[in-house]
Structure formats: C-alpha cells, structure tokens
Amino acid sequence: MKRRAFITLLGGTAVAWPLATRAQQSGKLPTIGFLGSAAAATQGQWVAAFVQRLRDLGWIEGHNLAIEYRWAEGRSERFAEIAAEFVRLKVDVIVAVTTPAALAAKQATSVIPIVFAAASDPVGTGLVASLARPGANVTGLSSLISDTGGKRLEFLREVVPSLHRLAIMANVSNPAVALQVGEVQPAARTFGLEVAISEVRRAEDIASAFDALKGRADALYVCADPLTYTNRIRINTLALGMRLPTMHGIREYVEAGGLMSYGVNILDQFRRNAEYVDKILRGAKPMVEASSPTPQ
C-alpha cells in the first residue's frame, strides 16, 4: 500500500491583513461558503462536527461568523453553479467537501481560499501542485482513497476467500474516481481476479448497472463519490438482494448497509477542516495534509 506521511498543517506565516479583520472592518461577518456534495440530511453529522470545532476555536455562527450552505445533492453539474454563486457573494473561504466540488471552486476563483475536506488524490487530480507546496489558493485534507485501493482488495479477499470475479462500481466522470479505478483494476488482476467495470453517471444508472452484473460478480467494490454516497442505501440494498459483499472507502457506506470499509474517519476530517478554516481566517497560508486510513 502506498502511504504518505503526515504533512505540516497550515503554514504559520500570516498575510498582511487577515480575512477576519478585513471582513469586520467592512461591517460584514467573515463568511464561509460550504459546498456540500450530497444532501443536507445525509451530511448532517459532518457539518455538525465542522461547526462544533469552529465553536471550540471561537467562531460562533450568527455571532462572529456566517456560513452559507449549498448542497449539490449528488449532481456534479451543480458544483460549478454553486461555486460561481459563492464568488458573487464574495465569501471569505469556500469549504468544498469532495474533489469535484473543490475542482469547480478552483475553476471559479483564484482569489478566495478553498479548503477541501476529503479529496482522494489532490495532486493526481490537479487540485494542488504537491502536498508540501500546494500553491495558489487551495488547501485541505486528503483521504488517500485512490492510494489505498489495493489494501481494500486485500481485506475483501480475506473476508471473501472464494472471490474470483470483482465488479467495480464507479462514476468515472469524477477524475478522482477515475484515478481510483486506475489503481484498483490492475491490483485486482495481480490477485488473479476478473474485473467488470460498472459505470454510473446518474442515479438512474444504478438499477441497470446491477441488472448487468447478475451472474458476473462475486463481490462489489464501490468507489466513493457524491453520486454513490447519495445513493449508498439503494446501492447496498441492491447488492444485498444479489448477495454481493461490498467494499467501500468510507465508513458511512457500511452504516448504510455495506459489508466493510477501509478509509479515514470523515468526522475527524471535518473537525480538522475547521482548524484549516480558522487559521485561514486568521491569516495563515495554505498547506495540505494526508490522513491515515483505518478498516471499519
């Protein structure tokens, strides 16, 4: 398994005039634009962890901080619209939950700081130049989902020793997912597994994808993505109906009926994401951090 060591959090060098100070002098509360990838109901725990950590750091919503929440509800075309709206609103920081959201925000602005919460491969997808020196206005935490696909297969083979045919469900229009498939597919072949790629780009594709897998798979590897996350209960229900054990990269998929996962603690990612936002509002320059995954 490829693993990256922890990278320094945020640089301690302050810019000439912290964002919070500028906002206060303009008579406007410092404002976060929160770009959620799914629906508010499905990411509520993550938001609560983020807001609570901000409170711990002295930022109280409605008192000395404003948060504009927007939800893409698993539809990738919404990311660009929401990012453009945040630019028009002149928010002070954009928090982008996933890789596609962060890429859309980066496309929309080179000035407003962007903090991603759980990008799977920020370097490979072009979000940042490197973990140590991200450059530009983008920072955040990497979930390393793309780097740990081979390890997930090892765990899956231990649980399903009869595994010979693997289906990979993937929204390949997401560049981070495409990278993950690019690692998992050859790793599966080194284990002697037959691989079937099941592409889904819309919620409407999920049922037909399962129909196409009948009799062709012994287990299902689900690539984490706003689309699959939003529809994780449905995916796991259909997989159970076909007696397909599932492997995921995020624990919340298991809580929605999946068999197992191996990945970072997303709640912890959001708490640490709040620390990034705090430092940026106080004037720090960006760095990127990679997290260590754990099996669930």
Q: So what CATH class is 11-144+264-295?
A: alpha beta
* Residue 16 clears pLDDT 50, i.e. is over it: no
The CATH number fitting domain 146-263, selected from 3.40.250.10, 3.40.50.2300, 1.10.3720.10, 3.40.50.1820: 3.40.50.2300
Tens-place pLDDT, residues 234-263 = 999 999 999 999 999 999 999 999 999 998
Residues 146, 99 contacting (CB under 8 angstroms): no
At 10 the pLDDT is: 37
In tens, the pLDDT along 132-141 reads 777 779 988 8
Considering the chain, tell me which residue range(s) the CATH 3.40.50.2300 domain(s) occupy: 11-144+264-295, 146-263
For the stretch 34-73, pLDDT in tens is: 999 888 888 889 999 999 999 999 999 999 999 999 999 8
Query: How much is the pLDDT for 294?
Result: 60
